Chain A
Amino acid sequence: MNTNAILSAKNRINVIQGDFYVSAEPELVLSTVLGSCIAICLYDPAIETGGMNHFLLAAPGTGGEIDPLKQRLYGAFAMEQLINEMIKRGASRSTMKAHIYGGSNIHRAMAHIGTSNANFARDFLRRDGIPISLEDTGGSAARRLDLKPATGQIRCKHIPTEDVPNIVTPPKRPLEQTRVGDVELF
């Protein structure tokens, strides 16, 4: 599939902030728009399966009061969800390749957030032994990202930040529906 085919794909899923998706469906394209958020694209050629997540913030802080529902947005959880789903479908850390996108420092006053997100993603992947074959992070532009999970083909386009509000229309999943942080003793 060439770039035009990715752009014109009819079977497209928008991976919104806090979400992830894994597939081997040949005609599917996963898309997202990133500012300071990070998207990790994983692809395992051994099973021709790929996936994408999209997260903000890095990891739970230490000692602070943190709403467990909001923790779903944190990178550690986003990373594990994506990796687990890949592994459940037969991928392995040794054959997966990762791309890191996003982490822009769009607002000067919040410059550390994008960098922090990118650093977290890089460290997590390295610690987990998943090779990073490409990284496009930082800068001040937003990014539009398209991944064809069945082939691992990726298109990343830098876009002016003023165009972002017209592109991002995330139908956010109500966090109340999630059950993160629940403790159930049997």
Chain B
Amino acid sequence: MGPITILTVDDSPSMRALLKHALVGQGHVVHDAEDGLVALDWLNRHIPDLVITDINMPNMDGFGLIEALRNQDRYRDMPILVLSTESSDEKKLRARDAGATGWIVKPFDPDKLAAAVRRVTH
């Protein structure tokens, strides 16, 4: 698998750094954003291969971001993974209905994350 461009969205700088460390270590190009609004601004100018987003964030949460992306033609088929401490069926169902491609429960296992990235981008 060649390197892909991934946008990670998480309000915690520490978690963004951890995630970036893991994904860059897997050979990917990683950009990050601190919430859904910042992500949307970046996405207006770039098209990544994958978005990995947290759910609980200020300004615009992960659900809002997914819905906003799925309302744009160019992001209708782009894979979006949720990476969250939450694991309730209700939240997962809401994410799926909003258009998420999958859900990963934190703390992420780097190998499982890599496998999920491979599956949704190929």
Q: Give A residues with C-beta under 8 Å from B.
A: 59-60, 62-63, 65-66, 68, 71-72, 74, 76-77, 79-81, 83-84, 87-88, 92, 123-124, 127-129, 179-186
Contact = CB atoms under 8 A, between A and B. Distances in A.
Given A62-B22, A87-B58, 6 more contacts: A71-B107, A76-B18, A80-B12, A180-B87, A181-B107, A181-B108
Contact of B104 (A65, A79, A87, A182): A182
Interface in B98-122: 100-113, 115-116, 119-120
Contacts of A63: 25
B43 interface: no
A96 to B, nearest CB: 13
Given A77-B85, A181-B112, A127 B103 contact: no
Given A60-B18, A72-B107, A87-B58, A129 B13 contact: yes
A79 B106 CA distance: 12
B116 A128 contact: no
Contact of B106 (A59, A65, A77): A77
A79 B120 CA distance: 29
B115 A79 contact: no
Interface residues of B, number: 35
Contacts, number: 92
Given A72-B107, A77-B106, A127-B14, A185 B120 contact: yes
A83 B21 contact: no
B28 interface: no
Given A88-B56, A181-B112, A184-B92, A62 B107 contact: no
B12 A68 contact: no
B107 A185 contact: no
A155 to B, nearest CB: 28
Contacts of A186: 95-96, 100-103
B105 A181 contact: yes
Contacts of A60: 18, 22, 107, 110
